[in-house]
Structures are given as C-alpha cells and as structure tokens.
Amino acid sequence: MAFRALHAQWGTVFAHLADLGCGHDWATIWRARPPAPLSCVECGHTMYAKTSHHGLHFFAHAPGAPHCALAEETVHHHLLKLELATAARAAGAHAELEVRGPAGTWRADVLATHPTGDWQIALEAQISPITRQDIITRTQLMNSDSVSAIWFTDRKRPPWLGHVPSARVSLHDEHGLLVTDALAKFTKGSWQSGPQTPAATFLKWIFTGQVVPHHRRAPVTAPLREWHTVWTAPRYVQDEAAHLAEAQRQLHERREAEQQRRDERLRAAQEHDRRRFGTDRSDDHQAAIDALMRRQAALEKPVYDFIRRATGSAPYIDEDPAPEFATGLPVYIGQRPYGVVCPVASRIPAARTDLASLVIFVASRRERDRIAAQTRPDQRIVVLSATRVRLQTDLAQSRNDARVTAAS
C-alpha cells in the first residue's frame, strides 16, 4: 500500500489529494481502461489505483512485484502519515509524502517544507519496533542533508522516545490527531508536563519557532517522563540556564566557604604541631596530609566507575574530607550517603557507628588492614587500584595514622 505513485504523463500523483496533486481527479486513474500508466516511485514496478471498503484511496503493486519497502507498510502507518501531512498543511507548510533524500540514504514519511524553502522537516510515523541507536542513526542521516526530523508514535513507551526529537500522539474523534506527550515547561527548578495540543497547532509552533527541541539538564517532576529531549518555549530554555547558573554559583560559594574552613583547620593543626612537636614533626604531619589527599583524589574516578557499575546510578563524591566521615571523602547517591573514600583509621572509632552501613574505599590492602582493625567486623571495605599510581611508599602509608592523629 502506498499513497504516492508515478504517472507516465502527469508525473507524481498522490492518492490522498482530491486533485492527485496534478489537476486530475481520482476517477481518471481508478478502474480506468486501459489501466492508468502508474509505477512505484520506490521499485519502479507497475501499480494500480485502489479504494478500500472504507473509501480510502491508495496504490497497490501489481502481481510479481519485487521486495519493496512501500508494499510492506501497514494501513495504520499510512493513516498516521496522512494525519501528519494534513496537520503540516494546516500549520502552513507544503507537505509531501514518501520523499527520498538527495543520495537515497533515507526516505521521509512526510517532508514538510517552508513555503519559501527556508527549512525542511521530516515528519516520521514510527509504529513498528526500532532500536534507539537505529532511530538516532536515521535522524543523523537526515540532519546531514540539512533536514530536521521529528518522530511520532502512538505507542506508549518505545525505548527511543525522548532520545530524538519526538512526540507521542493519539487520534481523537473530536480533535483529530492530538499530541499527548511532548511539550514541557520549566518552573520551580524542574521540568513539568506541558499541555496536550492538536498536531496542527504543535507543528505550527515548531514551524514558527515558538517551541524548540531542547536537551534538558535539570530534573523532571512527575508525570513528565525523564526524556532527554523535550519540546519547550525558548524562554523556558533560558529559565533553565539561569537556574543552573545560579545553582552553580551557590555551589561554588559553598565550596569556597568549605575550603576556607578547611584551610583554617589546617593552619590550626599546623600551629598545634609546632607548639607540641616542633617544626620538623609539623612538616612530617603536613606531608602525611598531602599524601592522604593525593590518594583520595586518585581514587575518585575508580570509585565513581565502581559505583556506576554496581548500582547503575551516578554517585556524587564530595571534594572535601569530612570529620563525621573520619576525614574521608563522602560519597552520595542522590541525597543518601553511600560510602567514604580513604578515611583515617585513627579517627574511625568516633564515627564507627555512622560508617557501619557505608562502603569504605581504600587504595591498598595495607590501608584496608589498618582500617579494618578499627571498624566493625562486618564493615564492607573495597580495595580499588588507582591505576597503580605511586601515591606514597608503604612506609609513609604505615606512618600516616600516627601523623594525622597529631592534628586532633
């Protein structure tokens, strides 16, 4: 079944148009004797004009046709293409069905074109299953020819929805083709569901730039699904950018304040060492602290990768050691503490209860043994290789606790 064919004298004819797109009516090719000289635009095989029991006009291949993609398309798919073409025309665009790309590497279900040719957008009706990667690749092929693509489906949760510019639609008796999932607005720090709207209105907003596809960065609020790409007004894109910039500024201020407090604690510890042990011991203590910080920094990526593989979630690793985590780096999944990187063994007893439910990450078996001597017997301790970087010698590691203890 197809809605477009090639007439030997008139050129391309369209079954869904009253004048076939060439100034002739359906009766001139349907049941004509002799048969109208029609052929498939895809494979070149002879085609006939037909009418379904419900009055739908279409073209069908004559017997003996070769394998052809147009012949395998379903009525459901064709009807959705017709609805998209109708909506595109109502939105002010020229719409043509089943258009091949310049190099023949892609074919648009409906190609919507600006009246003056300023842009072209492929409107794709995707009913059958397709992988996320395949649909991304097909989108990129169209983009390489300066043609944007929007994918439409009436399926509930195809795996590609929201990974490319897309929308979920449904057919209503009163409103026709309705876009039910696509639009979003940014408010109160998150993306929320936008209104349902007729497909013609949705396309008009797109054609006029009133809504744009946007790769969101902020979280979503239910019932909006966690789509990577949403359709939204440009002002909401700006609102998200301003919100994230402000959040980043506040985070930077907090980190600067934390760094200042950390520097003050370090200066106090150094002064304590100078008074208690003299300059040489203070210098040794500072060297031990520096070695601990290098070890913690070297483990950040291995810890991130380990947790991502183990849980499927992206952790947040704090940049600053925390006293309540035995001077280790706290690790969070969402708002929940998950683990700690390289805590100081001598400071674990004071935090033993709080650390019991967390995973402790260390850089060597020697460090694991020192920490295990201070934790509960069932404490989980994971040794991760920091790409075998020599952060310090084993002797310096074994003396680390004694040196750091002097700061307490």
Q: How far apart, in whole angstroms, are the C-alpha atoms of residue 87 and residue 108? A: 16
Beta strand 148-153 pairing with 166-172? parallel
Q: How far apart, in whole angstroms, are the C-alpha atoms of residue 187 and residue 369? A: 50
Element (H, E) at 120: strand 120-125
Structure tokens, 322:
């925390």
pLDDT value of position 277: 59
pTM of the entire predicted model: 0.59
Residue in 330, 320, 347 with CA at minimum distance from that of residue 407:
347
- The answer for residues whose C-beta is within 8 angstroms of residue 121's C-beta and 6 or more apart is 93, 111, 112, 113, 147, 148, 149, 150, 206, 207
**DSSP-assigned beta bridge partners for residue 47:** 38, 61
Burial class (CB in 10 A: 0-12, 13-18, 19+), 46: middle
User: Which CATH code, of 1.20.1440, 3.30.67, 3.40.1350, 3.30.450, is assigned to 76-232?
Assistant: 3.40.1350
Burial class (CB in 10 A: 0-12, 13-18, 19+), 390: exposed
pLDDT value of position 282: 54
Neighbours of 126 (CB within 10 A): 21
pLDDT value of position 270: 67
Decide if 179 contacts 69 (C-beta within 8 A): no
Decide if 293 contacts 266 (C-beta within 8 A): no
pLDDT value of position 390: 39
pLDDT value of position 97: 86
Q: Where in the chain are the domains?
A: 4-72, 76-232, 240-405
Phi, psi of 84 (to 5 degrees): -65, -40
Segments in the chain below pLDDT 50 = 387-408
pLDDT value of position 402: 44
pLDDT value of position 400: 46
pLDDT digits (tens, 9 = 90+) for 314-323: 899 988 888 8
pLDDT value of position 284: 66
